Structure 1
Amino acid sequence: MRDLSCFGDGSVAVSAASAASVSGRGCALDRSLQAATTSVYNASLSSGKGILIRVTWSRSTAGAPGLTVAFDNVVSSSRSATQQHVLRKKRGSRSIVTDSGTAVGVHWDVTGAEYSSSPEPSGGDYYLAVVADAELALLLGAGDLSRRFASGPAAATGHLVSRREQLRCADAEATAAHATRCRFREGGEEHEVAVRACGGRGGVEGEVRVSIDGEEVAGVRRVGWGFRGNRAVLLADGEVVDVMWDVHDWWFGRRGGGAGAQFMVRSRAEEGRLWMADQPSAAPPGGVFLHVQCYRR
C-alpha cells in the first residue's frame, strides 16, 4: 500500500457532510442499542425509477436482535423523506407504497439466522427480500430460503452504496477498536479494515490507527491536534481509497451516547478529487463508503 496524499481538516468536514446524506452520519446510536449495522443499496428499476433501500440490523443492550428497513425514492439528485419500517416479527411480509408511487413488498424470515459478534446474521437459513414494482430489488440471506426466493420475480439492478457500523464500548474503557470486512467497489476484492483509538482521556497520549489488510495506512502517535485527519491510500489491488478519522468527541466530549470516534473509508472517483457536500451519494459510481462509529456508554 502507498500513501498518496494528505489533506487538512477542511477536507474532512466536506467529506463528512456528504457522508451524512447517505450513511446517516448525524444519527448517533440509540441508547437502547449495543450495536447496529446499516447498509444502503441503490436499485435501478426497468421503469427508470431508482430507490435507495436501507437495511439496519441491530442488537439491543439486552442482546435481542432487530431488523429495520427504510426507503428513499431517488428523483434526479434529490431524495424524498425516508420511510422507515421496523420489522418486529421474525417472519412476515409487508406491502408499502412510497411517496412517488412505487409499490414495495418486503418479505423476510430470520427465524433460522445465526449471529456472531456482529448484529448482522453471519449464517444460518434466512432471507430479506424487497420487491419494487414487481422486480426483485434486493435479496439478502443464506441457505435454502434465500435460494428459493431468488427464483421468483425478475431482478432489478442494485448495488451496495454505503455501510455504517455502530458499536458501544464499555464506559470505563479508553479504547475504541473494531474490525470489519468490506469491498470498496462493486465486484472488487474484499478487504479487512481495522480501526483503533486508544490512550488516556484528553488525547495527550492518545493514538489513532487505521489498518487495511493488516497494514497500517493511517496513524497518529500523539493525538493532540491530530484528532481529525484525512489521507489517500493505494491498496495492493490498485484501488485508491480515502481514509478519514475524527476522534475529537471520543477524547474531549462528554460521557454518554454522543461521545463517539468516527472512521470513514471510501473509494475515490478521481485522484485528487474529494467529495463535495452537494453530491447525491457518498461514493463514486460503483464505489462503496464504509463508516464506523464507536461510542462510549
Structure 2
Amino acid sequence: MRDFPSCFGENGVQVADSSSSNTSRNAQNLVTCVYQCRIRGRTCLITVTWSKNLMGQGLSVGIDDSANQCLCKVEIKPWLFSKRKGSKSLEAYSCKIDIYWDLSSAKFGSGPEPLEGFYVGVIVDKQMVLLLGDLRKEAFKKTNSSPAPSAAVLVAKREHVFGKRVFVTKAQFCDNGKIHDLMIDCDTISVNDPCLIIRVDGKTLLQVKRLRWKFRGNHTILVDGLAVEVFWDVHNWLFGASSSVGNAVFMFKTCLSAEKLWASQSLSDSSTLQWSFSQRFLDNKSQNLGFSLILYAWKNE
C-alpha cells in the first residue's frame, strides 16, 4: 500500500498475516508525520518516520515536492550500539538542504518516537525550516542556523497503537493548538453487543452502540471549537479470523470536505476502506485542507 509519497513505499502499512501478535507489533511499530513547508517559494512536504523493531530505533527524513515526487531522503537504520547523531547534506531546487539529528541522549517510551533529549532539524539556506525535539538551543548552535520566516506545519500523522481494549495516543488538531489525550475504548470479545467509545481528555465525545451493525461509519465531534470528522472501520476486530492480528482503522480529520471525500470512495470491503483512508490523505494532504490523524489499532492477546 503506497499511501505516502512514492519514495517512502517501503514504510507503507500492510495488514499482518502472522499468527503472532508480537510479530505484528514489531513489524508495525512506526509513526509517520508529514509537515508542509516552503523551499525557495515552492510548497514541499517533509516526511519524518520513526520506527522501532528488535534491532532498535530507526528514523527516516524525506522531502517531496507538491506532486509527491521524492526530492531527497535520509534514512538512519535502527541502532543498538551505533552512533546516534550526525548530519547529511542534500540538494534540491538548486539549494543546499542539511538534515541534522542528535538522539544520543534521547529518552523513549513504549513507542518509536523519542519523548525528550533530542533534536532533528531540516535547514535550507541556513534557515531552520523544521525543528523537532526539546533541545532547541543545542540545535541552533550546532547547525549555525536561524529560524525560517515560516516554519513547517504538521498536516498529517499516521501511527500504530496497541492494546487489549483501550488504545491511547496524543493528538494536536491544529497548529500550535493544545495537545490532547485521545482514547479509543472498545471491547469486542467479552460482551455480546460491543460498543465503541472515543474520549478526548477523559470526556466522551463519541459512543457507537450496536457496533456489529455499525462497524464502519463517520461522525463529527468538536475539539477546540474545531469540527473533527471521525471515521472508523472495526470490521477486522469483529469478523476477522483472529482478533489479535487484524487491526481497526480510525481517522480524525479537520476538513470541511471530509464527508464528501468519504462518500466518493467505494466502501465495499475492509481492504478497500483501509486503502481509501490513506488514498484520501495522499490526494489532499498537500492542499492544506486540514490535519489528518490515521490510527491503526492492533489488539494484543
Give the TM-score category using the shorter length.
0.7 to 0.9
Residue 163 of structure 1: aligned partner: 157
Instruction: Choose 25-34 or 49-58, whichever is displaced more.
Output: 25-34
Residue in structure 1 matched with residue 100 of structure 2 by the alignment: 107
2:228 maps to 1:241: yes
User: How many residue pairs end up in the alignment?
Assistant: 266
In structure 1, stretches of 5+ residues that fail to align are: 1-16, 170-174
User: What is the CA distance between 1:254 and its match in structure 2?
Assistant: 3.8
Map of 1:222-241 to 2, 5 A cutoff? Answer: 222-235=210-223, 237-241=224-228
Counterpart position of 1:38: 32
- Is 1:181 the counterpart of 2:170? The answer is yes
Choose which of 62, 67, 71 in structure 2 pairs with 1:70.
62
Pairwise mapping of residues 112-191 of structure 1 onto structure 2 (< 5 A)?
A: 112-124=105-117, 126-143=118-135, 144-146=137-139, 148-149=141-142, 152-155=145-148, 156-169=150-163, 175-191=164-180
Q: Distance in 2 between matches of 1:200 and 1:223?
A: 12
Q: Distance in 1 between matches of 2:124 and 2:256?
A: 29
Taking CA–CA contacts closer than 8 Å with sequence separation of 6 or more, which of the two structures ends up with the larger relative contact order? 1
Q: 1:97 to 1:146 in 2, by over 3 A?
A: closer
Question: 2:253: which partner in 1?
Answer: 266
Deviation at 1:26, TM superposition (A): 6.0
SS in 2 for 1:148: helix
| SS of equivalent residue, structure 2 residue 237 | helix
Amino acid at match of 2:219: R
Pairwise CA distance, 1:268: 2.7
CA RMSD in angstroms comes to 3.5
In structure 1, the residue corresponding to 2:106 is in which secondary structure? Answer: strand
Equivalent residue number for residue 208 of structure 1: 196
Q: Kindly, what percent of the aligned residue pairs are identical?
A: 27
Compared CA separation, residues 91 and 102, structure 1 to 2 (3 A): same
Q: Which amino acid aligns with 1:221?
A: K
**Which residue pairs with 2:68 in the alignment?**
79
- The structure whose residues are more often helix, as a share, is 2
Distance 1:240 1:189, change over 3 A: same
Distance in 1 between residues matched to 2:285 and 2:192, nearest whole Å? 32
- Cα distance, 1:200 vs structure 2: 1.8
Q: Tell me the CA shift for residue 113 of structure 1.
A: 0.6
Q: Scaled by the length of structure 2, what TM-score is found?
A: 0.74
Aligned partner letter, 1:166:
H
Q: Shift of the alpha carbon at 1:181?
A: 2.0
Stretches of structure 2 that go unaligned for 5 or more consecutive residues are 17-23, 78-82, 265-279
Q: Tell me what 1:13 maps to.
A: none
Scaled by the length of structure 1, the TM-score of the pair is: 0.75
Q: Are positions 1:293 and 2:281 aligned together?
A: no
